Amino acid sequence: MISKELLEILACPVCKQSVELKQDKLICQQCKLAFPIKDDIPVMIIEQALAI
């Protein structure tokens, strides 16, 4: 699980808006992207994000 503290200091690398945690993914509502989380560490790589 990602800690609340970490979540608070993260932003979407595309639009720099805050991201939210939903079902083991980090979601950027603005860009409609879902970033995966691996071994409790977000992988905010644009190529690996899923469109939502």
Task: Give contact residues for other proteins (rule: CB under 8 A).
Answer: 3, 6, 9-14, 16, 18, 38-48
Cβ-based nearer residue to other proteins, 45 or 52: 45
| Least distance between other proteins and beta carbon 1 (Å) | 11
DSSP assignment of 20-45: EEETTEEEETTTTEEEEEETTEE---
- In terms of DSSP bridges, do strands 41-42 and 50-51 run parallel, antiparallel, or are they unpaired? unpaired
Question: With contact defined as beta carbons under 8 Å apart, do 10 and 18 qualify?
Answer: yes
| Least distance between other proteins and beta carbon 20 (Å) | 13
Cβ-based nearer residue to other proteins, 15 or 52: 15
